[in-house]
Amino acid sequence: MKVLLVFVLISLAALASARKPFAARYDNFKVYRAFVEDNEQLVEFKKIHHHLQVHILHEIGGPNRSYDVIVGPLFQRAFEQVLHDLQVQYDIIVEDLQALLDESSVDEDAPMDWETYHPLDVIYDWVDEQCDQHVYLECQVIGHSYEGRPIKSVKLSKREGNKAIVIEGNIHAMEWISSATVTYILNQLINSEDEEMQRLSEEFDWIVMPMVNPDGFVYTHDVERLWRKNRRPNGYSNSSGPCYGIDMNRNFDYHWSGAGWGIEDPCDHWFGGDEPNSEREILALQEFVNSFEDGYIRAYLAFHAYGQYVLLPYGHTNTEFPPNYDQMMRIAAAFADAAEDAFGSVFTYGASGLLNYVVSGAAKDWAYGVKNIPFTCTVELRDKGTFGFFLPSNQITEVGVEVTEGLKSLVAKAVDEGIFD
């Protein structure tokens, strides 16, 4: 295949002012979905990353799958020509990215709800209010981010002797639906009059970290909506200047750096760091989890976007599986069935290295492989790609409802399977 590798340099630079940075805009930027059919196309598609800065929204795994790419208006014709030369089929799934982003309303002054996306201060204020109002909540700052923001946790415990479930949110900055869903679940556990949710809050302890990446999250609100990593300068630079950030879900010390596309490129979205456990946010999370006695935490759920998956260990391989993989599959199936009953959202479940792509250093694998927590997973929330990372805020409540229904069934099945024994 003769390939013309003339590609696009997508400028994602944000304007800055003395007071507060202006958010980057994406007027008339399109999102392309390119289907890479075979290994020959995949080889050439991967070369794009080595020669040009393009905003590819997915890690490049194997062939026979689609990848979403953002392209600015000045370069769309050239981009389409390259795909034509590669014989890569594509669709335009978003005609105007800024118009889509505008559908995800953010109200900086509104009190906490699940009808809009909120900035960090509103989320944290709500967490603090809940902690002040309920004696069964133990709230603490488990550490601070690189830029000095607190990383907060909430432990809900109404009865001695309970086993615990950990819920983690927004380790990836751009995945706003993650912290929105985690806080929705927490609100249901605290304030819902639903009998099943009340029972779950009585019979289990819940340890919730709604915002693992506060620096990156603030950056997505103030500067760059597409930011994924944390904001620590990582010591490298490219033609655009210094490079920032580590993908913290590639930084856990369990088969770290063994697999994954882009994890060794310091200026890419998926850079896993020069060494494992290099990020203070990850160390704070691990030290917090390590502070509990062995055997107390029986499930660890990390919430991400997007694709509607329940991803189980392992991520670093697609040929090896955990000893209790069949058991975890039954528990994941219970979640998927109940979540689908709510609004028809179909969740696929299985080992992440098998279903998604092979990648190392994720939280769920560390929780399973190092902490020996018998059920761990990454829940990839809505949707399957129509909106992707930019899910409109009018879907937040529906996502919360379907995930809560899935969680009820997940816990019930885990009990049946002896996870909490």
- What stretch(es) of the chain map to CATH 3.30.70.340? 30-103
Model pLDDT, residue 238: 87
Model pLDDT, residue 88: 94
Question: Which element (helix H / strand E) includes 234?
Answer: strand 233-238
Model pLDDT, residue 16: 32
Model pLDDT, residue 102: 86
**DSSP code, position 51:** H
Rounded Cα distance, 120 and 218, in Å: 7
Model pLDDT, residue 20: 43
- Give the angle subtended at the CA of 276 by the CAs of 270 and 332, to the nearest 5°: 65
- What stretch(es) of the chain map to CATH 3.40.630.10? 120-217+275-416
CATH architecture under which domain 120-217+275-416 falls? 3-Layer(aba) Sandwich (3.40)
Identify residue 246 by its one-letter amino acid code. Answer: I
Q: Which residues of the chain have pLDDT under 50?
A: 1-21
Beta-carbon-side half-sphere exposure of residue 118 (alpha carbons within 13 Å): 23
Q: What is the pTM of this model?
A: 0.92
271 contacts 265 by C-beta, under 8 angstroms: yes
- Catalytic residue list contains 108: no
Catalytic annotation, pick one of 380, 402, 405, 417: 380
Superfamily of domain 30-103: Metallocarboxypeptidase-like (3.30.70.340)
